Chain A
Amino acid sequence: MSDHSHAQEHHGHDEHHHEQSFISKWVFSMDHKMIARQFLVTAIVMAFAAMIMSTLFRLQLAWPDEGFAITNWILGDKWAPEGIMTSEIYLGLVTIHGTILVFFVLTGGLSGTFANLLIPYQVGARDMASPFLNMLSYWFFLTGAILMLGSMYLPTGPAAPGWTIYPPLSALPEAMPGSGMGMTMWLISMSLFVVSALLAGLNYIITVLNLRTVGMTMLRLPLTVWALFVTAILGVLSFPVLLSAVLLLIFDRTIGTSFYLSDIYINGQPLEHMGGSPILFQHLFWFLGHPEVYIIILPALGIMSEVIAVNSRKPIFGYKAMIGSILVIALLSFIVWGHHMFVTGMNPFLGSVFVFTTVLIAIPSAVKAFNYITTLWRGSIQFTPAMMFCIGAVSTFITGGVTGIILADAALDINLHDNYFVVAHFHIVMGLSAILAMCGGVYHWFPKMYLRMMNKKLGYAHFWLTFIAAYGVFFPQHFLGLAGVPRRYYTNSSFPIFENLGSIEEMSTWFSILGAAAQFIFFFNFFYSMFRGDKAPKNPWGSNTLEWTVEAGHHHGNWGAKLPVVHRWAYDYSKPGSKGDFIPQTIPLAAGEKDGGEGYH
């Protein structure tokens, strides 16, 4: 370890004298901090697009018979004649909204931003293990993102079989217009995305394992790094499976193979494909797809751990239990995928195994939630906007998490599968928790990213409006599900039985408009503070972790001539006998003082 850091020191030293050109500094940068900002800004743009899409289809769901000028303005006469969207574009919007948020915002955006920013900073490294692959990862990501958004402009519309792209619907252009060119672009975009995720993930893993500074043992790592590290492992193990599923689908679409297709008669003729199984795709897809939701939520939980501990001015409660939970969740996440497929006709015995493993995952999740709450208990809570977002994320993690126990129960899932109960569940537990924690992370680390401070009052306004709107949109949707309303319906008006649920749909839509409007406060605060915010001090929140020991100013290589040396865990807040209420990791242990990471008992 010490040899390695020595070599790094020289590398870092040289970097200081080396002037970077505009292109190598701002565009094709290999600096992890710049790449983190590139990921973040790209994710914000993508999230904005996905948010506009969701607002449009919420309008459609609440008032299916009414035209809206804004719908027509955004979608044009082809897709929204007289302001009423067509069912093709409705499904397209739903699909692209889901794809963007799951992959481009909450996977690429969340991990890309915070793993890039925090892993090298918090382990005390000059940069990622391979800055070049890191840069490549961003450019693959951006290319994928552009293709995905670009597919909205195709004359046949974007891919529209839902973000899970189940064949045969996604395999046959005859089945729907979106399964033509739109689907092709979706598949290319996703392949690029997987390449990006793999390049990034390998880099994160190697950096955490090999580039920790002197004294930074695994049990002194902040929980952010633990979460991002395990997330990267999940990604590296599961994304290749998605890529293979996508490749087989491409073969079925182009060269006439029959991996997923058999016995199909469509558009007036029988197809030649024989012997394939559409269910095979679902197994491959969810083998990624379920770890994927933990790829989304673990970094969010990592951010929450750090922000809640710092702003409670207390050590995170149960540090080792938190690491244990992360590991157990990661392990279990690989053996629960079948709970997405209870009604595909799978063997009932297999179903009961998946019930068992899925319900089991509630235990480490509950441990995490209880630990957050105990961290608040008898704390001295500083309500920074970041802290508020993270408290909000704990709340949504609980509220959305408990309904997961219902859906994990195969017998109950039969009636709720694919209806609005599921939509409410996963938006709250995964969507909201991750987005709220991501916002928290942005407010918390903005000073490290842009060397300026965001506006506090706008942050408060953003939080309260977002939080109220978030629950307002999704909580009522549980009841739509319990009334039997299926998801991905363009309108409920073909079923008179759903007619008197209109007021619930409208409530959900009004809150979604409020939520979307609140994000403009954030966009304004973000871009304004980037240029005009107050200059950030070195350690504005009084944190222990290493990123706050870096001098202000962005230079490739992070620390000066010497890398920091770590002497303690990251959570010595309000430690009895210490002077201030925090002790940075670089302060040596006093005589007889025990290190928290090694345990107190």
Chain B
Amino acid sequence: MAKITLDNLAHSYFPEPKGEEDYALKQLDHVWNDGEAYALLGASGCGKSTLLNIISGLLVPSRGRILFNDKDVTEQDTVARNIAQVFQFPVVYDTMTVGANLAFPLRNRRMEPAYVARRVQKIASMIGMEDMLERKARGLTADAKQKISLGRGMVREDVNAILFDEPLTVIDPHMKWELRTQLKALHNEFGHTMIYVTHDQTEALTFADKVVVMHDGKVVQLGTPEELFDTPEHTFVGYFIGSPGMNLIDADVSGDKAICAGHEVTLGGRYKPMSGRVQIGIRPEFVSITSQDQGLPVTVKRVEDVGRHQILRAEFEGRQINAILPEGLPIPAAPIRMKFAPERISVYVNDWRVAPDEVTATPSKEVVL
């Protein structure tokens, strides 16, 4: 078990990277605390798997250092780092039995046979494959194979960290939930440092204490699920977390007012004058509709009833704005206006969040997820 520090890390798959865009991982300084469960969230191709492979030692970074408990391991290989990693697609050793598959990482490290047998039994019961230990791994279904892969990742007790690279992609939804719960239980029991890569926000938010959001080779925000929801530091976080994501509208901000295409919106704080591309962001959960003469005039495009609430998809000046409204609320077809809760509006300059100089409205503590 270890604290993992990434120091000035960057990686490019080109031997001689020329510019910023050649880097799959851009400048990264980050500390993964010992014993915490992290989710690494981001769209496909944002560098998540690259980062994971660098931590596990499958890849050597082009620049920077990796420290385990303040010891430099950048040049060490996977075995020396003592890391477990589970991959997106199942990897099983076909010619071995299920039991031998689970025992493989332990046997390679010459553990006591009695201990190996005990661990295999324990892991098998965890993944629900106790009655299959003698069976050859060949010909099992994809999710059975992935359970074996997961089991192999968890079978060693002394690992520095366990890395999961979208491990539940091929597993059916019910089993997904069950395995996630067991991973969580495993984490509570042994306190391994865990990093769980996913592009599924539900998975990330339920699994982890802390979520790291990556975008375009950079970590854009690290925080608890609530922080990511309440104060996205980057427009990508706003858009990626939440369903539907945050609404972003171009605006001119001065003081505690924003002007969006000639319409005034009240903000929850005072801001300094700013330059660059300025946008205001508001989550659909904090948008309401009104027939009074205030807020932004929008045209209703579509209403989706998803059961617990309805999603109103409207258009403002050619841009889509979504609102999550209570179930059963009548929505007039005529042009309506949308109102934003001032304390929930964030201001972004060139995609990064700007904090107000002075807060004039504080959000109530109740979070609607």
Q: Do A and B bind each other?
A: no
Interface residues of A (CB under 8 A from B): none
Q: Taking beta carbons and an 8 Å cutoff, which residues of B are in contact with A? A: none
